[in-house]
């Protein structure tokens, strides 16, 4: 059996399958026996687990027997080998990235001789697939066009740091260092979105001669972005920037050809990559999959996952082969933790969120996207602690709703809102799709 580099425990070589299966059966029997003994002395489970007092000493688990330890190490080694084993042979050709004036990109060749050491590439070989990029100043113009005219449609990219990310790409090209394939997919997708939405007002940017020239180049950017995303899939790459590139390109496909099979396939790939990054666990109470990456990165994870969830549920409403079949379970859309984070980081944002929650509590909308959940016998909790929130909500009459002490200001805003407008006249269809914002 092949060893995995960097692991502490390695299974012995040339172990017959029958013997290995027998050892695993012994391991299961020992674990089952220990579980039966533990169940006899285990206290009754409670709805919410409480943390031990700070002065109470932690309970140290008894040491395992050498036989059980050895069997456990073998089982863990097999699991790591099954889930993280890399392939011996690469499944993709190398890709190189070079720059040239944006109006000459379409005329450049798709393959180059990789004899110039100043061209960063992924892999090795003499003849490589070449993806041409605009020059640094032209990339700034296309990025600014994306921020001003396109970003608000999906709003998954962190705009304040986006321009710095683009600058890092060209710094890596100038210094002949390794390029991140996910960031390259993001850049190419933004170029596709910017050129496809080019308008006569953008002629003042002095980047293209005509609108037709810019829009014709959009299809070249789409093809280049797909090539980079296919390369990322073949090498097993997963990153938040690559997901953002897929989201942007999905938007471009929807505008070019609607929710076509290619668009739906790209959306499914972005959801799959998001699961690889454990974005569905970003608000889980016991989240061990995502390391501590800072509040900004966590917010980007959350924003991206919410967009993917909303898109997945929206697509199921159309007459497609997967009509009525969503791929993301509601349990994987946890929405309460953001309220707690907002109270600490943005008091003004927390007030707006509290006001929105109060509106939905008092006025339940009727929307086709919500009908799929109406047949469920009970309301499915979004988080383990939301069941307690739901019980608390049931015990409080709707007419006598008493806000939390922190939300007293919101109760005043609610009363003022009721005096200014009739909530029964709100078009919740437009509200869901962002076409109407009556509360602002």
Task: Among 296, 315, 330, give the residue marking a domain's end.
Answer: 330
Residue of 384, 405, 365 lying closest to 45 (CA atoms): 384
pLDDT digits (tens, 9 = 90+) for 400-429: 433 444 445 555 655 665 555 555 565 655
Contact 282, 302 (CB under 8 A): yes
Q: Is 112 helix (H, G, I), strand (E, B) or coil?
A: strand
Q: Which residues of the chain have pLDDT under 50?
A: 1-15, 38-57, 373, 376-407, 432-440
* Cα–Cα dist 232/248, whole Å: 16
Angle at 112 between CA 171 and CA 184, to 5 degrees: 35
Number of domains in the chain: 2
C-beta atoms surrounding 402 within 10 Å: 10
Q: Report in angstroms the alpha-carbon separations of 95 from 165, 209, 278, 389.
A: 20, 30, 28, 52
Residues 225 and 354 in one domain: no
Residues 366 and 303 in one domain: no
Chain position carrying tokens 């959940």? 373
Task: Among 277, 303, 330, give the residue marking a domain's end.
Answer: 330
Residues 319 and 349 in one domain: no
CA 144 from chain centre, in angstroms, equals 24
Tell me, what's the pLDDT at 54?
43
Residues 203 and 339 in one domain: no
The answer as to whether 20 is a domain residue is no
Tell me, what's the pLDDT at 29?
75
Angle at 426 between CA 420 and CA 428, to 5 degrees: 145
Residues 279 and 353 in one domain: no
pLDDT digits (tens, 9 = 90+) for 297-343: 888 998 899 999 999 988 888 867 777 788 888 877 765 566 666 66
C-beta atoms surrounding 133 within 10 Å: 23
pLDDT digits (tens, 9 = 90+) for 122-134: 555 578 889 999 9
* Cα–Cα dist 192/245, whole Å: 10
Strands 127-133 and 95-99: parallel
Which regions of 124-270 does DSSP assign to beta strands (E)?
Answer: 127-133
Output 416-420 pairs: Cβ under 8 A, ≥24 positions apart. 417/355, 417/359
Residues 178 and 241 in one domain: yes
* Cα–Cα dist 237/20, whole Å: 33
Residue 419's H or E segment, with its range, is: helix 408-420
* Residues 63-90: b if buried by 16+ CB within 10 A, e if exposed: eeeeeeebbeebbebeeeeeeeeeeeee
The answer as to whether 256 is a domain residue is yes
Signed CA dihedral, 300, 306, 309, 311: sign only:
negative
The answer as to whether 74 is a domain residue is no
Tell me, what's the pLDDT at 10?
39
The answer as to whether 317 is a domain residue is yes
The answer as to whether 28 is a domain residue is no
Angle at 303 between CA 188 and CA 193, to 5 degrees: 25
pLDDT digits (tens, 9 = 90+) for 49-78: 334 444 444 555 566 777 777 778 777 777
Contact 98, 119 (CB under 8 A): yes
Residue of 194, 195, 168, 197 lying closest to 183 (CA atoms): 168
Tell me, what's the pLDDT at 70?
79
The burial class, CB within 10 Å (0-12 / 13-18 / 19+), for 403 is middle
Residues 161 and 204 in one domain: yes
Domain that holds residue 271: 135-330
Q: Report in angstroms the alpha-carbon separations of 366 from 312, 373, 424.
A: 19, 12, 12
Tell me, what's the pLDDT at 367?
53
Tell me, what's the pLDDT at 42?
44
- Helix orientation angle between 66-84 and 17-41, rounded to the nearest 10 degrees: 110
Strand partners of residue 133: 99
The answer as to whether 55 is a domain residue is no
Signed CA dihedral, 205, 209, 212, 213: sign only:
negative
Tell me, what's the pLDDT at 27?
74
């Amino acid at each position: 059996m092949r060893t995995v580099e960097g692991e502490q425990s390695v299974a012995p070589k040339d172990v017959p399958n029958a013997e290995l299966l027998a050892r695993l059966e012994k391991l299961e029997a020992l674990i089952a026996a220990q579980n039966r003994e533990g169940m006899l002395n285990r206290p009754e489970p409670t709805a919410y687990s409480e943390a031990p007092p700070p002065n109470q000493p932690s309970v140290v688990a008894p040491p395992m027997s050498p036989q059980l330890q050895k069997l456990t190490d073998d089982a863990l080694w097999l699991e790591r080998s099954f889930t993280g084993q890399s392939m011996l042979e690469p499944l993709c050709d190398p890709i190189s990235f070079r720059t040239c004036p944006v109006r000459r990109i379409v005329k450049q060749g798709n393959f180059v001789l990789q004899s110039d050491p100043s061209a960063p590439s992924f892999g090795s070989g003499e003849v490589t697939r070449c993806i041409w990029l605009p020059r640094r100043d032209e990339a700034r113009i296309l990025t600014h066009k994306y921020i001003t005219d396109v970003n608000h449609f999906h709003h998954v990219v962190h705009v304040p740091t986006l321009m710095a990310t683009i600058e890092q790409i060209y710094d890596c090209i100038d210094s002949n260092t390794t390029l991140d394939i996910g960031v390259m997919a993001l850049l190419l997708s933004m170029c596709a979105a910017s050129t496809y939405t080019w308008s006569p007002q953008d002629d003042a940017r002095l980047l293209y001669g005509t609108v037709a020239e810019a829009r014709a180049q959009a299809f070249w950017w789409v093809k280049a972005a797909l090539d980079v995303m296919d390369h990322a899939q073949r090498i097993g790459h997963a990153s938040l920037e690559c997901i953002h590139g897929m989201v942007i390109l999905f938007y471009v496909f929807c505008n070019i050809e609607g929710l076509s099979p290619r668009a739906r396939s790209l959306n499914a790939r972005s959801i799959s990559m998001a699961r690889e990054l454990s974005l569905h666990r970003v608000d889980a109470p016991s989240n061990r999959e995502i390391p501590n990456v800072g509040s900004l990165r966590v917010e980007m994870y959350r924003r991206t996952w919410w967009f993917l969830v909303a898109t997945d549920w929206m697509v199921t409403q159309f007459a497609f082969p997967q009509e009525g079949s969503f791929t993301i379970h509601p349990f994987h859309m946890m929405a309460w933790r953001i309220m707690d984070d907002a109270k600490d980081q943005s008091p003004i944002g927390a007030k707006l969120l509290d006001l929105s929650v109060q509106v939905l509590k008092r006025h339940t909308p009727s929307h086709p996207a919500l009908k799929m959940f109406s047949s469920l016998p009970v309301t499915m909790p979004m988080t383990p602690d939301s069941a307690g929130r739901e019980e608390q909500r049931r015990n409080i009459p709707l007419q006598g709703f008493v806000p939390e002490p922190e939300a007293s200001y919101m109760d005043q805003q609610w009363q003022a809102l009721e005096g200014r407008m009739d909530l029964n006249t709100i078009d919740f269809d437009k509200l869901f799709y962002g076409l109407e914002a009556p509360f602002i």
